[in-house]
Structure 1
Amino acid sequence: MSSYRRPNQALRGLLGEAGMSAAELAAQVNAIAAENGLVLGYDRSTVAHWLSGTRPRGDATALVVEALSRKLRRSVTLTDAGFLPAPGGGEDTAHGSAASSHEDRDEDAARSLGQLATWPTGHTASRGRAERGAPFRLAALRLPPYEQIATSPFPTGEPPEGARVQASEVQGIEAMARVFHHVDITFGGGQGRRALVAYLASDVRPRLHRPAAPAVRRRLLTATGELAYLCGFMHFDDDLQGLAQRYYLVALRLAAENGSRPDHAVALRALSVQADALGHRREAVRLAESAAAHVAGPHLRRAFVYGQLAVAHAGEGTRHEALRALAHAETMIERAGSAQDTPVGAYHHASLLHQQGVVRLRLGDERGAAAALAASVRHRPADERRARALLLADLARLHLRARRLTEALEVWHRFLDDRSALSSGRVDRAFADMRGLLRPYSRHPSARALLDRAARTSRVREPFRPPAGR
Structure 2
Amino acid sequence: MSQPLPNHLLRLLLVEARWTGGELARAVNLAAAECGIRTTYDRTSVSHWLAGRRPRPPGPDLLAEVFSRRFGRTVSTADLGLDRPLPRQRGPATWVPEPVDTREELTLLRQLAPQPPHGRALVGSVYSIAALSVPGWPPPFTPPARPTGPYRPGIADIRAVEEMPALFSAVDARAGGGLARRALASYLAHSVEPLLGSVLRPVQHQRLLVAASQLAYLCAFMCWDDLLHGAAQHYYRLALSLAAEGGSSTDYAIALRGMSVQALMLGHRRQAVHLSEGAVAAGTGVDPLRRAFLHGQLAVSRAVEQDRRRAPQTLSAAERFLERAGSPASAPVGAYHLAALRHQQAEMSAFLGDRRGAVAALTDSVHLRPAEERRSLAVTLARLARLQAQDGRLDEAVATWHRFLDARTTLRSRRIDRAVTELRNQTRPYRRLPQVDALLQRTASPPR
Question: Which structure 2 residues correspond to residues 18-167 of structure 1 after superposition, within 5 A?
Answer: 18-84=17-83, 97=84, 100-103=86-89, 108-110=101-103, 112-119=105-112, 132-149=123-140, 152-156=141-145, 159-167=147-155
Alignment root-mean-square deviation, CA: 2.5
1:26·1:47 contact (CA, 8 Å) conserved in 2? yes
CA distance in 2, matches of 1:404, 1:106: 51
What's the counterpart of residue 396 of structure 1? Answer: 385
CA distance in 1, matches of 2:135, 2:334: 23
What's the counterpart of residue 462 of structure 1? Answer: none
Question: Which structure 2 residues correspond to residues 282-301 of structure 1 after superposition, within 5 A?
Answer: 282-295=270-283, 296-301=285-290
**Tell me, which stretches of 5 or more residues in structure 2 are unaligned?**
91-97
What's the counterpart of residue 265 of structure 1? Answer: 253
Identity of aligned residues (%): 46
1:216 to 197, 201, 204: 204
State the secondary structure of the residue aligned to 2:444: helix
What's the counterpart of residue 465 of structure 1? Answer: none
CA separation of 1:350 and 1:142: change in aligned 2, threshold 3 A: same
What's the counterpart of residue 265 of structure 2? Answer: 277
1:3·1:55 contact (CA, 8 Å) conserved in 2? no
Larger mean CA deviation between 137-146 and 342-351 belongs to: 137-146
Give a deviation string over 1:156-202, Cα, whole Å, max 9, x none: 4x834233333321211121111110110100000000000000000
Larger mean CA deviation between 6-15 and 260-269 belongs to: 6-15
What's the counterpart of residue 335 of structure 1? Answer: 324
2:102·2:238 contact (CA, 8 Å) conserved in 1? yes
1:4·1:54 contact (CA, 8 Å) conserved in 2? no
Query: Which runs of at least 4 in structure 1 moved beyond 4 Å after TM superposition?
Result: 103-108, 124-127
What's the counterpart of residue 412 of structure 2? Answer: 423
1:372 to 361, 368, 389: 361
What's the counterpart of residue 443 of structure 1? Answer: 432
State the secondary structure of the residue aligned to 1:430: helix
CA separation of 1:178 and 1:352: change in aligned 2, threshold 3 A: same
Report the alpha carbon displacement of residue 67 of structure 1 after superposing the two structures with TM: 1.0
Give a deviation string over 1:415-469, Cα, whole Å, max 9, x none: 111111111011000011111111112111111111112222349xxxxxxxxxx
What one-letter code is carried by the residue in structure 1 that aligns with 2:133?
R
1:199 and 2:187 correspond: yes
What's the counterpart of residue 320 of structure 1? Answer: 309
1:412 and 2:401 correspond: yes
CA distance in 2, matches of 1:344, 1:361: 26
| Alignment coverage as a number of residue pairs | 439
State the secondary structure of the residue aligned to 1:341: coil
What one-letter code is carried by the residue in structure 1 that aligns with 2:49?
W
| TM-score when normalising by structure 1 | 0.88
2:291·2:318 contact (CA, 8 Å) conserved in 1? yes
1:62·1:134 contact (CA, 8 Å) conserved in 2? no
1:107·1:155 contact (CA, 8 Å) conserved in 2? no
Report the alpha carbon displacement of residue 103 of structure 1 after superposing the two structures with TM: 4.4
Give a deviation string over 1:244-276, Cα, whole Å, max 9, x none: 011000011111112222221111111101000
CA distance in 1, matches of 2:326, 2:391: 38
**Tell me, which stretches of 5 or more residues in structure 1 are unaligned?**
85-96, 460-470
Give a deviation string over 1:378-431, Cα, whole Å, max 9, x none: 111101000000100011111111221211111111111111111101100001
CA distance in 2, matches of 1:120, 1:220: 20
CA distance in 1, matches of 2:254, 2:221: 12
1:231·1:247 contact (CA, 8 Å) conserved in 2? yes
1:221·1:258 contact (CA, 8 Å) conserved in 2? yes
CA distance in 1, matches of 2:2, 2:371: 55
2:350 to 333, 353, 361: 361
Report the alpha carbon displacement of residue 17 of structure 1 after superposing the two structures with TM: 4.2
Give a deviation string over 1:15-48, Cα, whole Å, max 9, x none: 3444444333223212212222334343333212
CA distance in 2, matches of 1:3, 1:112: 40
CA separation of 1:147 and 1:407: change in aligned 2, threshold 3 A: same
2:105·2:241 contact (CA, 8 Å) conserved in 1? no
What's the counterpart of residue 94 of structure 2? Answer: none
Report the alpha carbon displacement of residue 73 of structure 1 after superposing the two structures with TM: 2.8
Larger mean CA deviation between 329-338 and 231-240 belongs to: 329-338
What one-letter code is carried by the residue in structure 2 that aligns with 1:267?
A
Report the alpha carbon displacement of residue 114 of structure 1 after superposing the two structures with TM: 4.6
What one-letter code is carried by the residue in structure 1 that aligns with 2:75?
V
Larger mean CA deviation between 22-31 and 415-424 belongs to: 22-31
What's the counterpart of residue 90 of structure 1? Answer: none
1:4·1:55 contact (CA, 8 Å) conserved in 2? no
Report the alpha carbon displacement of residue 338 of structure 1 after superposing the two structures with TM: 2.3
1:239 and 2:227 correspond: yes
CA distance in 2, matches of 1:141, 1:77: 16
Report the alpha carbon displacement of residue 283 of structure 1 after superposing the two structures with TM: 0.5
Report the alpha carbon displacement of residue 51 of structure 1 after superposing the two structures with TM: 0.5
What's the counterpart of residue 87 of structure 1? Answer: none
Give a deviation string over 1:316-347, Cα, whole Å, max 9, x none: 11111101110100000011122122111000
CA distance in 1, matches of 2:196, 2:113: 24
1:237·1:424 contact (CA, 8 Å) conserved in 2? yes
CA separation of 1:381 and 1:19: change in aligned 2, threshold 3 A: same
CA distance in 2, matches of 1:162, 1:251: 27
Q: Could you say which structure has the greater relative contact order, defined with CA pairs below 8 angstroms and 6 or more residues apart?
A: 1
What one-letter code is carried by the residue in structure 2 that aligns with 1:320?
R
CA distance in 2, matches of 1:33, 1:108: 27
